[in-house]
A and B are shown apart, each in its own frame.
Chain A
């Protein structure tokens, strides 16, 4: 492994000086302790590789949850000029619009604890999850077209949510420009039976309670209070998005071959914006983004129904409002300041979350006085966080912060560490009741496989790119 030169800028930020074929320097948000663990895999080399892409602006950025991915590191952020820059499907990821949403309730920890097993069991049976498992919704061609073009509105029309939910999703749950003509038949085949399903791996549905409030003002604006029970839902665009990424990485490989563009890693396959490949990808990608939002909306609807059934309460008594839905695998066209001038850039966030500040026009009106909620799920044994975006993030990270804890152990190493142990029992003894389709998944996703999300969130908070609002502790988890 090649040693990457790192310069400490301050206690939460490092720089990889521009060298070789890099167009910009690299910047890594980390403290001294975490940087040592970051150096153990090839993620810093991936930061260097991304910096070599045409039209990249300011820095190739890495969040403190950075780890080795494919092409872009997980926890990577890169913004491109739309005149001479590129769009890279690998910079978004196969799971287009993998993201997380937080549903609030009016229930407290003390009310939920006595029924946690029943609640989790019911959710496990109601929300389809696991590998190779299809959902209850079978999409017709017309349905698919509507979802691709109008996003989450499709589910609202079917009483799987409310108009208020749309206000609390990035882009109101619909990225415009999705066209079915840009999407392959294979993508439709992979996605038609998977709407309303959780998937497997690191996807989950988690029941939490808030055990700490760090900022009373922001918590109040977000409607969060101590001991409040909330639900985190983490999943993405399923096989539909995966196939779209596969299709367009292939097309862009052919594009790069035609124009003779060479990159340090072919998984960075990209094309300039004014090309058929880019236009096709952006259209198909929009469809996948909309599918993923619709997916999370439907799962939240199922969750609301289960809560009402288990507790015998009405919607008003449940108060199952959506706090916010954030995407952490996405590319967005946004206005950012470059050398004193506002420019339209295409910001790629791969395992990174938008974190816009107060007064930003893209922050929902209900939160505009404080800033955008940022949701950072940790592992299923420790904690997750709600933060809020800051003005500093706009200048430093294109309005972005981390997305989770970040893996430290490979799945192979996690399985080895879990040998001879019953991770489900261990989690239950520590207060988290887990129902999972695959025993192996639980071991692969054990808490020790991840960085401590508290440390990751402290770094972004101390760096000033997002501020902590509340901490959630897990009570129950559903996994595929």
Chain B
């Protein structure tokens, strides 16, 4: 799995690629956390179990990322890694590994307002799944 930042005039656009949906969702989460903090330096001592249902895979992806954002913004939890499993494209079960910082004690790189649906379509290209996610900052 891999991601890159795609040029966008006002916001941030992440293009994620992976071999299956579970990895794609993990990739998007990793990209989000890399935007927020120095993820690799985090010592993950806690884990959170997350389960989400949605009408569509795109809605599931947005709900997933918004869930992680909620934990970061209100509880000061920064995540380092994730185990993700997607069922039928509309159910997510995940374990997110991270650590709680006192709010204000961890440098936050971006003030993310929300995860948008703009142009969000999970596409198959050759043997890969690709999604472009625009994030409002």
Cα distance A413–B5 when bound, in Å? Answer: 12
Cβ contact within 8 Å between A67 and B9? yes
- B74 and A186 contact, CB distance less than 8 A: yes
B106 in contact with A132 (CB, 8 Å): yes
CB-CB < 8 A to A200: which residues of B?
Answer: 111
B118-A257 in contact (CB<8A): no
Q: Does A447 contact B (CB under 8 A)?
A: no
Chain A 173-205 residues near chain B, CB threshold 8 A: 186, 189-190, 193, 199-201
Chain A nearest Cβ from B78, distance in angstroms: 11
Q: Separation in Å of the B102 CB from the closest CB of chain A?
A: 11
The CA-CA distance from A249 to B63 in the complex, in Å, is 11
A246 within 8 A of B: yes
Q: Does A162 contact B (CB under 8 A)?
A: no
Q: Which of B12, B108, B136 contacts A132 (CB 8 A)?
A: B108
| B119 beta carbon closer than 8 Å to chain A | yes
Query: Which A residues, 233 to 272, have Cβ-Cβ distances below 8 Å to chain B?
Result: 239, 242-243, 245-246, 249-250, 253-254, 257, 265-267, 269
0/1 interface trace, chain B 72-107, chain A, CB 8 Å (1 if under): 011000000000000000000000000000011011
Minimum distance in angstroms from B6 CB to a CB of chain A: 9
Determine whether B38 belongs to the interface, using a CB cutoff of 8 Å to chain A: no
Residues of A within 8 A of B (CB): 41, 43, 67-71, 74, 90, 93-95, 131-134, 186, 189-190, 193, 199-201, 239, 242-243, 245-246, 249-250, 253-254, 257, 265-267, 269, 407-413, 480
| CB atoms of B74 and A190 under 8 A apart | yes
Contact A199 B111 (CB under 8 A): yes
Query: Contact between A253 and B117 (Cβ–Cβ < 8 Å)?
Result: yes
Q: Please indicate the chain A residues that have their CB under 8 angstroms from the CB of B114 in the complex.
A: 94, 242-243, 245-246, 249
Q: Is the CB of A246 within 8 A of B55?
A: no
A68 lies within 8 A of B9 (CB) = yes
Q: Which residues of A contact B108 (CB under 8 A)?
A: 131-132
B113 contacts A412, C-beta separation under 8 Å: no
Indicate if B66 sits at the interface (CB-CB under 8 A).
yes
Say yes or no for B126: interface residue by CB 8 A criterion: no
Q: Which residue in chain B gives the minimum CB-CB distance to A132? A: B108
Q: Which residues of B approach A to under 8 Å, CB–CB?
A: 5, 7-12, 55-56, 58-59, 62-63, 66, 70, 73-74, 103-104, 106-111, 113-120, 134, 136-137
Using known A-B contacts A250-B62, A480-B111, determine if residue A269 contacts B10 with beta carbons closer than 8 Å.
Answer: no
Which residues from B are CB-within-8-Å of A239? 73
CB closest residue in chain A, given B59: A253
Interchain Cβ contacts under 8 Å between A and B, 17 examples: A67-B10, A69-B118, A70-B118, A70-B136, A74-B10, A131-B108, A134-B103, A199-B111, A201-B137, A243-B70, A243-B114, A245-B114, A246-B114, A266-B120, A267-B120, A267-B134, A410-B9
Q: A131-B111, A134-B104, A201-B137 are in contact. Are A410 and B117 (CB under 8 A)?
A: no
For the complex with contacts A257-B56, A267-B117, 15 further pairs of A-B residues with Cβ separation under 8 Å are A67-B10, A95-B136, A131-B108, A131-B110, A132-B103, A239-B73, A243-B70, A246-B66, A253-B117, A254-B55, A257-B55, A257-B59, A267-B119, A410-B7, A413-B7
A71 and B118 contact, CB distance less than 8 A? yes
Known: A131-B110, A239-B73, A246-B66. A267 touches B118 (CB 8 A): yes
- Is there contact, CB below 8 Å, between B116 and A267? yes
Most A C-beta atoms less than 10 A away, residue of B9, B108, B134: B9
Tell me the nearest residue of chain A to B116, going by C-beta. Answer: A70
Measured between beta carbons, the chain A residues less than 8 angstroms from B109 are: 131
Taken together as a complex, chains A and B put the C-alpha atoms of A162 and B1 apart, in Å, by 56
Q: Which of B7, B8, B117 contacts A269 (CB 8 A)?
A: B117
Complex Cα distance, B118 from A74, in Å, reads: 13
* A249-B117 CB under 8 A given contacts A68-B8, A68-B9: yes
The 6 A-B pairs at the shortest CB distance, nearest first, are namely A70-B118, A132-B108, A266-B117, A94-B113, A70-B116, A267-B118
CA–CA, A257 and B73, complex, Å: 29
